[in-house]
Amino acid sequence: MTHPPRRLLLLGAGPVPDGGSLHAPGVANRLLHFLLPALKAGHEALVLTIEPDATALDRDEPRPEERSRGALRWRHLALTVEDLKSHPAIPSLVAAWAPERVVGAGTLQAAARACALAADAPVWADLFGDPLAEIHARNEFLPPGPERLDSTLLVWELMLRTLLRADAFSVVSRRQRDALLGQLALAGRLATAPEARHPAGPPIEPMPCCLESLDDRPPPSADERARAFASAGLPPVARVALWSGGFNAWADPATLVAGIERAMARRPDLHLVATGGALPGYLARPFELFRERVDASPHRDRFHALGWLPLAEANRWLALADVALLTDRPCAETHLGARNRLLYHAAVGCPVVASTGSEVVAEMAAAGALAPFPSANPDALAGEVLRLLENDAERRRLGEAGRQFCRRQYLFEHTCAGFLDWVARASPAARPAPDPSDPRQWIARYLTAWAQPGEADGGARRPRLLGRLLARLRAPNPRSPAEPPSHP
């Protein structure tokens, strides 16, 4: 049966680049994961993105610009966080577009705002990682007090709005799907229409991190290699282990530095290059821990922290590296989440040594597409790095195996069928009747302890914080929490 084209409203984070998805930051790449297949299927789209360099709107009616990717066309408006959240012209713009489907992709903020703007249109909420696991992982690096409590309550607020309103969900792993089922149960969402794809509630589609394509790319020339090494202070004969991207709350800098130190003791030509660093405005401590350990290392001259680079330059280091590293600490975010940067390594055939813990690492390890080592085991990390540096044939084989595995499993075209089917067929699902008692009951199950005064970390404030959360839940526009910028 042929279905008519639909008008879609997509909300996410940018900037969305003109090039392929390999040149997009993580959350922008996630938006492309929904946008490009929908356009290829013949649907129309208005895209609203939060962008750090967006110009604040004046009082005039905003005018989306026409954008294109080859033959694909869509309307696009870049916004500040405040304008997306509260500018009075945005609801009018959305109403004039009259979307038949609404999608919030990549951030919890986008999902919650999609729910607020959708009116009666069906909503697809993409939970690009588990927001509750992520905020708890971040809190482990923050001192007890108002910042930690306020940010946690704000995430709960947006999560609850999304759980109560969205008609369908996507997640990054099968493990996260199970976690989301529990969260939906607590929100009273498992008794839904009998035609739902998932018999216990709204449809939940696992959509792992993916790329648009894995085009063949020539390796860097000898001149490119020499210039890059010289600019970073590496000798021409250096062998390079690479850390690429942000030091997020799941990162394990202690294992990273200790493992590479032990490998450096055996290989005087081994250097570590780190592209990326702290997450400005969100989390700095893991990167600080990395720098502290590097500064204390007897091999500190062979650590090169290059900071955040333009994506094209960061991707060049992926192609220059002998091996890429991924060290996760054991935590709920690692267990439930995904690792976008693995795709960027695979795209250029760079072999990866990765700690076990996440679903994607387990899948790639089972397929022989990366070299796993046990979490928090620097000796094992050093052993895998040395093994690959001593066997160039195995190193090249592993890099190509990772590339081919991602080509088979982690492209947009392989993972968007459920979403496209929903776009074609969705109708508004049965949702709980709006009852102001529901949020209070739901929150109370988890935050009862927070309402008990007397603890050292600000317990006397907790009743007021809980009251503020409940007041915001009854307000028409939620306030947004700090969210991590996404980096590959």
Return the SS3 of 90: helix
* % pLDDT > 70, the chain: 83
pLDDT at 310: 85
pLDDT at 445: 47
Does one domain contain both 440 and 317? no
Does one domain contain both 371 and 437? no
Does one domain contain both 18 and 138? yes
Largest CA distance in the chain: 67
pLDDT at 460: 45
How does the average pLDDT of the chain come out, rounded?
86
pLDDT at 464: 53
Mean local confidence (pLDDT), 70-93: 93
Does one domain contain both 34 and 155? yes
Token digits for 317? 């280091």
Beta-carbon contacts of residue 205 (< 8 Å; ≥ 6 apart): 168, 169, 170, 171, 418, 419, 422
Beta-carbon contacts of residue 302 (< 8 Å; ≥ 6 apart): 264, 270, 271, 272
* pTM score of the predicted model: 0.87
Q: List pLDDT tens digits, range 238-283.
A: 999 999 999 999 999 999 999 999 999 999 999 999 999 999 888 9
Q: List pLDDT tens digits, range 322-339.
A: 999 999 999 999 999 999
Does one domain contain both 43 and 113? yes
Q: Specify if 485 maps to a domain.
A: no
Token digits for 468? 């503020």
Question: Lowest mean pLDDT: which of 164-173, 267-276, 284-293, 461-470?
Answer: 461-470
Mean local confidence (pLDDT), 16-25: 62
Does one domain contain both 405 and 451? no
CATH of the domain at 105: 3.40.50.2000
pLDDT at 462: 46
> Which domain does 267 fall in, by range?
222-410
Does one domain contain both 428 and 401? no
Q: List pLDDT tens digits, range 341-365.
A: 998 898 899 999 999 999 999 999 9
Q: Specify if 484 maps to a domain.
A: no
Does one domain contain both 418 and 399? no
Name the more confident of 439 and 42.
42
Question: Lowest mean pLDDT: which of 78-82, 104-108, 232-236, 432-436?
Answer: 432-436
Question: Lowest mean pLDDT: which of 76-90, 380-394, 422-436, 454-468?
Answer: 454-468
Q: What is the DSSP track for 437-458?
A: HHHHHHHHHHHTGGG----TTT
Work out the pLDDT band at 23, boundaries 50, 70, 90.
Answer: low
Q: Which of 358, 393, 410 is the last residue of a domain?
A: 410
pLDDT greater than 50 at residue 157: yes
pLDDT at 52: 84
Cα separations in angstroms, 467 against 116, 208, 356, 369, 472: 22, 37, 41, 50, 9
Q: Specify if 479 maps to a domain.
A: no
Question: Rounded to the nearest 5 degrees, what angle is found at the Cα of 464, between the Cα atoms of 458 and 469?
Answer: 115
pLDDT at 220: 87
Question: Lowest mean pLDDT: which of 1-5, 41-45, 119-123, 237-241?
Answer: 1-5
Q: Specify if 116 maps to a domain.
A: yes
Most confident listed range (50-54, 368-372, 472-476): 368-372
Mean local confidence (pLDDT), 109-119: 95
Mean local confidence (pLDDT), 396-417: 95
Does one domain contain both 296 and 444? no
Q: How many whole angstroms separate alpha carbon 244 and alpha carbon 487?
A: 9
Q: Which of 378, 394, 410 is the last residue of a domain?
A: 410
Torsion, Cα 451 457 458 459, to 10 degrees, reads 30
* % pLDDT > 90, the chain: 66
Q: Specify if 481 maps to a domain.
A: no
Most confident listed range (16-25, 94-103, 277-286, 417-426): 94-103
Residue showing tokens 């392929």: 20
pLDDT greater than 70 at residue 433: no
Structural domains counted in the chain: 2
CB atoms within 10 A of CB 192: 19
Q: Which of 392, 410, 428 is the last residue of a domain?
A: 410
Does one domain contain both 54 and 29? yes
Q: Specify if 365 maps to a domain.
A: yes
pLDDT greater than 80 at residue 176: yes
pLDDT at 281: 84
pLDDT greater than 90 at residue 227: yes
pLDDT at 440: 46
Q: List pLDDT tens digits, range 203-223.
A: 999 999 999 888 767 788 889
Q: Specify if 319 maps to a domain.
A: yes
Mean local confidence (pLDDT), 447-456: 42
Q: Specify if 51 maps to a domain.
A: yes
